[in-house]
Amino acid sequence: MDRVAAGDVVILGAPFDWGTSFRPGARFGPRAIRDADYLEPDGKRPHLTATVDPLTALPVVDAGDIPIVRGYIEESLQNIERYVGLVAGAGAVPIVLGGDHTITFPNATAVARAHGFGDVTVVHFDAHADTGEYSRAEMLGHGVPMRKLIDSGAVPGHRFIQVGLRGYWPPPETLRWMREQRMRSYFMDEVNERGFDAVLDEVIRLARLPGDGRPARGVFLSVDIDVVDPGMAPGTGTPEPGGLTSAQLLGAVRRLGRELNVLGADILEVAPAYDQPMNITALLAHRVVLEMTTGLAERRRATERQPAERGTPSQPMPHSSR
């Protein structure tokens, strides 16, 4: 793809997993997510109930994979930030297929640079908070991207909303730091007690108007596939029992796409080597993309009923290959 226009949704693969702490293999996620589509390659995917086809209504284009320099973490992450920034800077919506969660740091940073440091809210679906402490020797990895976004100023703590946390990490001192940053974290205990719909209502309200009372310019959605119970999504590096159902996640991303101004997104931690039976995790991640873009198309359809100003002119985009 040589050019990207304002309003487009651009799919980018980021086959990177050098930040993985347990089971590697998420570098093969982008290919597995793409290959999970068993329908005709006709560029059409009309949604059964939304009565809209996101691929043609938005439109959605696949720009292939971002160049990853094998073994060179920093250079690879710089490439990711550059390419995501070109898409976001042109007024388009980048959706990045990962890859491990390390890449949310360059992804969300690029979107924040395009739309305003400190002005973007992150809605983060995950079993893990990814706010671990880091030293000089461990500055990059899939356990620290949210902390790095806060420390860098790209996304302040009060603009973080996390859903689905559970298990036995991070430790109490990290949870205390998260509270000090005014992050809003919905643990699965709370989701189960209050009901997922009630939690999602509150997520949308907070995403629109975070804790400082100043409206966000939009949201970045970060979806770690391990937010879903491993009985429904086994193909991931750090599975944690007791998560959301696949139906809950799909409904949530569509609703967020419809009701919020989504500026960018990533879908992460699909590790196809562990994805049995029948590649169900890759299929779920693929449907996350389709449901999210369906929500975006529904939002655009509603908006276009009112006079709206077109975005910025198209911008050149360097060549990338799948």
pTM: 0.91
Residue 278 has pLDDT above 90, yes or no: no
Residue 238: Cβ within 10 Å count: 22
Give the whole-angstrom CA distance, residue 141 versus residue 163.
Answer: 20
* Tokens at 63, concatenated: 């720009």
Question: In percent, how much of the chain has pLDDT > 90?
Answer: 80
CB-based burial label for 74 (10 Å; 0-12, 13-18, 19+): exposed
- Please state at what angle helix 104-115 crosses helix 145-152, rounded to 10 degrees: 30
Residue 44: Cβ within 10 Å count: 11
Mean pLDDT, all residues of the chain:
91
87 contacts: CB under 8 Å, gap ≥ 6: 4, 10, 12, 63, 93, 94, 317
Query: Closest by alpha carbon to 144, among 133, 160, 154, 153?
Result: 133
Residue 87 has pLDDT above 80, yes or no: yes
pLDDT at site 65: 98
Q: Find out whether 254 and 295 touch, Cβ atoms under 8 Å.
A: yes
Q: Find out whether 256 and 205 touch, Cβ atoms under 8 Å.
A: no
Strands (E), the chain: 3-4, 9-14, 60-65, 93-98, 120-125, 160-165, 184-187, 218-224, 262-268, 315-316
- Model confidence at 318, pLDDT cuts 50, 70, 90, reads very low
11 phi/psi in degrees, rounded to 5: -85, 130
pLDDT in tens, 95-154: 999 999 999 999 999 999 999 999 999 999 999 999 998 755 456 789 899 999 999 999
Give the whole-angstrom CA distance, residue 237 versus residue 256.
Answer: 26
Give the three-class secondary structure for 95. Answer: strand
Give the whole-angstrom CA distance, residue 301 versus residue 58.
Answer: 9
Beta bridge partners of 46: none
Give me the mean pLDDT over the 54-64 stretch: 95
pLDDT at site 322: 34
Peptide bond preceding 59 in cis form (omega within 30 of 0)? yes
Give me the mean pLDDT over the 225-253 stretch: 97
Residue 313 has pLDDT above 80, yes or no: no
pLDDT at site 135: 53
CB-based burial label for 38 (10 Å; 0-12, 13-18, 19+): exposed
